[in-house]
Each structure stands twice: as structure tokens, then as C-alpha cells.
Amino acid sequence: MTKTWAVLHDRNARLFLTAVTVSGFGTSALWLVSGIWVKDLTGSDGLAALCMLAMWAPTLAGPLLGALADRVPRKPLLIGGSLLPAALLPVLFAVDSPDRVWLVLTVLCVYGAAGVVHDAAESALVAGAVAPPLLGGFNGLRMAVTEGMKLVAPLAGAGLYALQGGPGVALLDAITFLLAALLYAGLRVRQSRPDPVTPPTSTGSGDQPSGWTATAAEAPRRRPTATHRRTPSRRTPAGAGTRHIWAHPILRPLVLAGGTTMLFAGLNGALIYAVIDGLGHSPAYAGALYAAQGAGSVAVGLVSGPALRRLGERRFAAYGIALTAVAAGLRAIPSDPPALACSAAIGAGLPCVLIAALTAVQRETPDALLGRAVATAHTLMYTPNVLGLAAGAALVELVDQRPLSALLGVAWLATAVPLFQRPASASRIASRSPSDANPA
């Protein structure tokens, strides 16, 4: 836990985490209330479901939206990305009838697009504003904070909605974004103009923390070898992030494992009410299962920094996938204690590959390409979750939940096996010096 405290003692990391906590509270509250609000106005389950789709749809354009984080100074972009939703959310005060529901969906879509840009800028800025040895711990704490907000904010949002309606929740969310913008303004980073080509010996980031310099031991982790013989210009195409991830022997398996994990997570999530039926409870029991899952995610977020340093990204991700797969398979047991334990285990295991992949992208990507790479990784990892939810919703109508859960667990477990092996190509690249590489 020493390194976890080191993250909290780092000024930039502390400001980032506080901003994530504040804005995450408002986002989680709006996430729940928007669907309830539209359902109350229209009586339509389909329109209520479109609220979630509107927020997620911009993720598909992640590689394009993420390019902004490589072409615009990141700290101002992060501040602007918080001020835009703050200015936009008051538009929802005008929503008072079914024929104005389109305003909710439009605002949520823009909200989601701003979130994609914001996440890319934040992850890219963190890579330069927080010392590399603290990145894994920071990403874990960020996950813990995000999941923690999902436990408390929806309840607070629902209570505020009961008292003040949808506009009250929109105002709360706007205030949280204003506070986050003030916190981001306090970050101490040095902005640098993008260079067309960065020498291979460079270990710094375009946005460095004031007073921090990479040590010789940390430098190889920040700018690994032959793959980064040349650092691309920020004017390179948006698809450069995709090409970088796909060609990188460390990033490709982690991001693919993250996408596969989220596909299976979608399938597993679609079975939740069938699991509850098998336990003989009402649908409201989902709240207990989600709370257990959230608690597991908070716990793993707090220990992910030390675990990443001890195991490395690949094994940390593999152990997390294995834990999640076993827990998903054991949901076939129709008993309350195993169901709650499995939910907690899924919550602990599922974030591991996501934390590992993001940390690896931050460490293994040139600064000028980092915004696009992060946004691309998010698209590749999170889009399959939507597909899994759709496929699971169809399968659960055709197949009994118990054998389906057991088969899902076995298939999911198989995806962890390749991560336990270090690829030979990565070993060869790690052993080469920049002078051995052919010029780009």
C-alpha cells in the first residue's frame, strides 16, 4: 500500500482523482436519472433505453475524437471538456413534455462525445503529469473512485429527482463539472509544442509535471525501443492510434483481451435477471448483486498498483480474467451466498485487464500519439460490451441460464491462457537498442 499512498501524496495525481470523484458523482447520478426521466415523460421503455445508447454511441468514434487530445494542448482541452457539459446541461431545464425528449437524447449524445475527448485528454495528460512508477496505482485508484461513485451517486440522484425532478439532477451535474474544471486548472504541467519527430533517446512527455524528471531506470518503460524509433507528429492520421496498437506486441494482446472480456461481460450482464429468477427473488435483488460487484471493483482498485508491479500487466490481466471467468461460471449455482460472492469476484476481476491495458498504452505510446491510442483502446475494449449485451439478451430467451453461465465461464477462462505467456516478439524488441533499429 506504500505506492498507493505515494499516488495520493503526488499533487497532480491527487487533483486528478479529486476531479474524477466530483465529476463522476454527477455523471453517475445523471446516468440513472436520464432513463427514469424519459420513462416518466413518455412511458416508453425503448426511449428510456436510448438514453444509455446516446451516451455510449460516441465511443464508436473514439479514434477520431481522440485525435483532438493530440492536436490541442491537453490541459486547456481537459478544462474545456468539463466546461462544455456544464454549459450544456442547463438546456435540460426546458424538458417538460414528451415532445422535448429529443433534447435529452441530443444533450446526452454531445455529453458522451465530450466524455470520449475528455477521457483521452485525461489519460494522455496523466501519462506526463504523474511519474511513470505511479501510473498503475493511479489507474487502479481511478477505477476504485469511479466504481465507488456508482454505488452512492445513483441513489443520491434518484432522491434528488424525487424532490426536484430531472432539471435538479442536471444542475447538480453541471456544478460538479464546474468544480472539476477548477481542479484541472490547478494542475502543474509544462505544455510543449508537438515536434514532427522526436529523437529516440527522448524519455519525456509533451506534458511533464513541474520538477519531475524520468530516471534512467524508468526511461525504458516510458519510451520502449524499436517500436518507438520515431515519435509521430500530432498531425498524423486519426487511424495512427489503431495501427500503433495493432503493431505493438505488448499492447495488441492486452487490448484484444480487454475487448473479449467486455464482450463476455456483456453476455454475463444480460443474464442477471435470469440469475435472480433462479434464486427466487424479485428484480430489485439486482441492487444487492451490483453493490457486491461494486465493492469488489473498489477493492481491486486499491491494490492494483502493487499487483501490477509484482505481476506485470499481462499476468495481472490474466489472473483477473481467470477470476472473473470462474465466478461467472459458478453463477450456475442457485444459492444466495455463491451468487453474492461471485458478484464480488466479478467486480474484483473484471477491471484488471482494463487497468492493465490502459497503463500499458500510457507507458508504451509516444506522447504525440497518446490521445488517439487511448481513445482507440477505449473503443476496442468497450464497444464489444454493447454487442455482448445484445447477444446475451437473445440467448437467455433460448437457453437456460445455468448451462449458459457454465459454458460462458469455460469460454471466458480460455481467453486468459495466452496472457500467461510472454510473446517472443516482445522479448526480442525489449532486448534491442534504438541504434539497432532501421530508420523509420
Confidence check: pLDDT of 171 > 80: yes
Q: Is residue 199 pLDDT above 60, yes or no?
A: no
Determine the average pLDDT of the residues in 282-304. 81
pLDDT digit string, tens, across residues 376-415 = 888 889 888 878 877 887 887 788 888 999 999 999 999 9
The pLDDT of 37-45, averaged and rounded, is 82
Q: Which of 92, 90, 89, 65 is nearest to 77 (CA)?
A: 65
* Alpha helices (H) along 89-134: 101-129
Burial of 97 (0-12, 13-18, 19+ CB in 10 A): exposed
Q: What is the pLDDT of residue 438?
A: 36
Per-residue pLDDT tens for 85-110?
999 999 999 998 888 989 998 999 99
Q: Has residue 253 got a pLDDT over 80?
A: yes
Which residue in 34, 74, 39, 68 sits closest to 51, CA to CA? 34
- What per-residue confidence (pLDDT) applies to 46? 65
Record: fold of 239-426: Growth Hormone; Chain: A; (1.20.1250)
Strands 207-209 and 189-191: antiparallel
Averaged confidence pLDDT in the chain: 79
Residue 180: its pLDDT value, please?
A: 93
pLDDT band at 315 (very low <50, low <70, confident <90, very high): very high
The pTM of this model reads 0.70
Asked if 65 and 120 touch (Cβ cutoff 8 Å), the reply is yes
How does residue 202 score in pLDDT terms, banded at 50, 70 and 90?
Answer: very low
CA dist., res. 431 & res. 424, Å (int): 11
Nearest to 64 by CA among 379, 354, 360, 365: 379
Q: Residue 190: what pLDDT?
A: 62
Q: Please name the fold of domain 1-188.
A: Growth Hormone; Chain: A; (1.20.1250)
pLDDT at 178 over 90: yes
C-alpha distances out from residue 87 to 51, 170, 171, 232, Å: 19, 11, 10, 35
Cα–Cα distance for residue pair 99/81, rounded to 1 Å? 29
How large is the average pLDDT for residues 364-377? Answer: 85
User: Across-strand partners of 353?
Assistant: none
Q: Within 13 A of 18's CA, how many CA atoms are on the CB side?
A: 18
- What nine digits make up the cell of 54? 446516446
For residue 157, give every residue at least 6 positions away whose Cβ sits within 8 Å of its Cβ, in sequence order, or none: 28, 29, 30, 32, 33, 169, 172
- Give the residue ranges of DSSP H helices in 232-285: 240-247, 251-270, 272-279
Summarised one tens digit per residue, pLDDT across range 124-166 is 888 777 777 778 888 888 888 887 787 777 778 878 888 888 8
Domain positions in the chain are: 1-188, 239-426
Provide the grid cell at 352: 484488471
One fold for 1-188 and 239-426: yes
